[in-house]
Amino acid sequence: MKALVALILLVQLPIHRAVPAAPPAPLGCDDPESEAAAEVAVSYINGHSHHGYKFALNRIENIRVLPQGLNNDIIFLELDLLETTCHILSPTPLANCTVRSIVQHAVEGDCDVKLQKLDGKLSVLASKCHSHADSSEDVLQLCPSCPLLASLNNTEVLAAVTAALNDHNSKTADAYLRLLEIGRANIQHHPVHTVYVEFAVAATNCSAEEAKDNVEACQLLPDDKSNFGFCKATMVMSPSQDLRADCQLYGHQPGVTYSQPGQDTSAGLLPSVVQGFTNHNLRLSHNNPVASESSSSEFPTSMLSAKAVAKRAVAEVAQHDKVPRPVSFVLPPPPPPCPGKIRHFKI
């Protein structure tokens, strides 16, 4: 009898089934975790760029996370960057670098970055970028008289750089400087024809005085003694000629090197730049196709992107608003998780 009662009670017990945990909500582009990943990505991009300037984060366009296991995620980022005034060889921290404004003819960078977050530590696996200057029309619309970017191999630009470097070397009692690369050049035609140039330099094993006797013998210092620097110059071409140049050396920076694959140091130009480009393209340093989500075999196409989730959420809120309900205080729909906020300006 007792066994029968026990059986009846056992049958009446509720059956508990394991309920699968709901998938985590997609990360928003302005979430702290997304911004932390973007900070690591930008630091990697600047640390592995071989030419040109440091870039600052302007906007996180998209983020997608693919769990790989316990405390192991693959993260895909799409970033919008803006060029700063700091050359890649500059020791100035990125936080202290100024983003060039639109009227200074801004340069934008678009990057895809693949990261891994393992046991809470972020590391970059691959990066793919390209950068381009804003249109001249955008600049002139805000400032009709502002100088525009010129090709790095423009004859007036080359003349200004040569004159500025010769002027510095003729006046200094310190090391003779050689040109590494022309970083940027602007030309203004009215009201005064003026050329503005910026270029990276390096100290040699000769003094400026010694270089007068045999400049060909002057070689760049070895990596363990290297001393890089940066020059800015303004050369007025007409109606009268004038030259102002300023060069500053950074001092030796352990671990900082400069890559010169097949570079013509007499002009300070990479072969790809000689064709008439106005800026150093990030693609020269970051061109790994697996950095892009669309090129990665790890991410199943069935997974929804943050943008798709956002659109669906907004649509559901809109549909819900059509249902009659008592008048009450209604919270506005949540902002879409991506793209994120613009930190500087949009090109």
Helices (runs of H) and strands (runs of E) counted in the chain: 6, 9
DSSP-derived secondary structure letter, 157: H
Task: Quote the CA–CA distance of 278 and 196 in Å, as a whole number.
Answer: 13
Looking at residue 297, what is its pLDDT? Answer: 57
Percent of the chain at pLDDT exceeding 70 = 76
Please enumerate in sequence order all residues whose Cβ is within 8 A of that of 303, keeping only pairs 6 or more positions apart, or say none.
Answer: 64, 66
Q: Tell me the mean pLDDT in the region 58-78.
A: 96
279 or 323, higher pLDDT: 279
pLDDT score for 316 = 47
Tell me which DSSP letter residue 234 carries: E
The strands making up 228-238's β-sheet, listed across from edge to edge, are 148-149, 175-188, 193-207, 228-238, 242-251
Q: 60 burial class (0-12, 13-18, 19+ CB within 10 angstroms)?
A: buried
Write out pLDDT tens, residues 40-66: 999 999 999 999 999 999 999 999 999
pLDDT score for 26: 80
**pTM confidence score:** 0.81
Cα gap 148→194, rounded to integer Å: 11
pLDDT digits (tens, 9 = 90+) for 127-144: 999 999 999 999 999 999
pLDDT of residue 264: 43
Give the model's pLDDT for residue 314. 43
E strands in the chain: 53-69, 72-87, 107-118, 121-133, 148-149, 175-188, 193-207, 228-238, 242-251
Q: Each residue of 283-318: pLDDT tens digit?
A: 999 999 999 877 665 645 444 344 444 444 444 444
Q: Residue 93: exposed, middle, or buried by beta-carbon count in 10 A (0-12, 13-18, 19+)? A: exposed
